[in-house]
Amino acid sequence: MTATSKWLTTAGMYALAVVIAGPLYADVSIDDIKNDATTVDDVVTNGLGTQGQRYSPLKQVNKENIANLVPAWTLSLGGEKQRGQETQPLVKDGIIYITGSYSRVWAVDSHTGREIWEYDAKLPEGILPCCDVVNRGAALLGDKVFFGTLDAKLIALDAKTGKVVWKKEIDDFKAGFAYTAAPLIIDTKAFGPIIVTGVSGGEFGIVGRVEARRPDNGELVWSRPTIEGHVGMLGGKPSTMTGTLNETWPGDMWKTGGGSTWLGGTYDADTHLIFFGTGNPAPWNSHMRPGDNKWTSSRIAIDPETGEIKWGYQATPNDGWDYDGVNEVVSFDLNGRKAAATADRNGFFYVLDRTNGKFISGTPFVEKITWAKGIKPDGRPDYDPAFRPGDPKAAADGKKGKSVYVTPGFLGAKNWMPMAYNQDTKLFYVPSNEWGMDLWNEPVTYKKGAAFLGAGFSMHPTFEDHIGALKAIDPATGKIVWQYKNKAPLWGGVLTTASGLVFFGTPEGDLKALDATTGEELWHFNTGSGVVGSPITWEQDGEQYIAVVSGWGGAVPLWGGEIAKSIERLNQGGMLWTFKLPKKTAAN
């Protein structure tokens, strides 16, 4: 069988012919990607659509029959390489594609659960991932599967065989660079489809950036640094500087400024803009870098045709708490206005005008926030100086600044785990955590490949009965409509459907379904290991399937301190689970 995919390039139209014997494997067109939010027989993007709403129009599994949902099959990821499994599956033409810990990829028969192939990146010694050996997903286009590795490479695999088609180095892993996010594929007028990626490594003093590459050969199209003073690239030549040198960064601090783009981005076709969040400034010790430190802890909008930043919104200027700003930007319409929402690690839920980045609202979504008294009408935080850790230079020995207890903790009111937006309820479903930290600053000097923090910390729960809380938020008012509390922290993504359901997983191992309107628990199933991945749903042979990868890990057991000790008995694992209704039930 022959499948042909076509797209525009700078040279004009050209065709990529893919000849495949037997069934089609990831024969994904750019139209498949554009329409992913509305089609039901596949999931070909991270976020169930480039806008990242994680909403499915499927209704077969609903409030009335969800109690009958049962496993269809499972697949073990095998071996000793377990740890955190934060992937979101993709599915096309009867094949599921997942990534796993230690930079691995699988193709799985979606009807039987049998492995078709596995690719293992065979990582070198000396990789420097800050927060577990996770991977959050792949991307599909044509006959290729694209994913990034912990040693900062972007790899294209043959979707039928799992063999490497091309491999490109993003940057030097020995300097702290890594890549853990799912790539984003979008269409452009100038270049045709491009693969958009970010970088990890902010804790090592790297400089964040967003890049675009050609899917056929991995050639770099453009690059945009996220820190002012650094120059971008377009068409193999230097382009423009990000911001103005030393406008908000003192001296040479911008050279090792952080701002990593480790979560990946979303894309809005209405505005033709790519949205990325940017990470914390480096080092954590904010007294070493007075000023706003643009564009760290921010949301930026990038023109995919040029790589230029069209607008930026900084949630936490001069971030001194490692609040980052990488959380996903989800496009939606608010009373006829083109809006975007983002739930920040700093504890505030923001609504912005996605056409220009103007601030619409900012409201707290976790309790007992102390670092700021609120968000001012201009969108800047109203800092409480009492909760910024002290300058080590003011200490008698110059080694440790005044310690403060601040909420939320550095792992964030919401970390990497993606929220969902239901087009029917008009609510966002935000996986959040209620915790704080003791935090103090220390002197630090940049050294390539070494942690560049200048801070110490200890995490603590805010409440005795729960840490995690899935919260339903009305973006029009910022009010929390309902919340579902969980003893352990929530660390996985959310899925919502047109049948009024919300799916999410817990570290205790449960995949759960709630009523999207009330928050009532309607169903749960224990997968045997903590769920820190993101669930999906699709239709196959007239039946609705739900899939999720379970496998406990991520940053919490590594950096959670007192909290990590309380959940240390949670089992690691690595399983792809799929669920459906028994045919008799589905037919009723």
Tell me the backbone φ, ψ of residue 199, rounded to 5 degrees: -145, 155
End-to-end CA separation in angstroms for the chain: 37
Q: Rounded CA gap, 497 and 504, in Å?
A: 12
Q: Write down the residue that tokens 């007294």 correspond to.
A: 287
Residue 404 forms beta bridges with which residues?
Answer: 439
Look up residue 441 and give its amino acid: N
Q: Do 277 and 329 touch, CB atoms closer than 8 A?
A: yes
Q: Which of 273, 278, 421 is nearest to 345 (CA)?
A: 278
Q: Rounded CA gap, 573 and 568, in Å?
A: 14
CB contact set of 24 (below 8 Å; sequence gap of 6+):
1, 3, 93
Across 428-456, b (16+ Cβ under 10 Å) vs e yields bbbbbbbbbbbbbbbbbeeeebebbbbbb
Q: Rounded CA gap, 342 and 350, in Å?
A: 5
Structure tokens at 184: 């984003």
Q: Which helix (H) or strand (E) holds 33?
A: helix 30-34
Q: Write down the residue that tokens 């994904």 correspond to.
A: 28
CB contact set of 448 (below 8 Å; sequence gap of 6+):
174, 175, 176
Surface-to-core class of residue 62, CB atoms within 10 Å of its CB (0-12 exposed, 13-18 middle, 19+ buried)? middle
Q: How many CA atoms lie within 13 A of 116 on its CB side?
A: 22
Q: Rounded CA gap, 284 and 437, in Å?
A: 14
Residue 373 forms beta bridges with which residues?
Answer: none
Q: Which of 138, 101, 103, 136 is nearest to 573 (CA)?
A: 101
Q: How many CA atoms lie within 13 A of 397 on its CB side?
A: 5
Tell me the backbone φ, ψ of residue 68, rounded to 5 degrees: -95, 0
List the catalytic residues. Answer: 322
Q: Rounded CA gap, 33 and 170, in Å?
A: 24
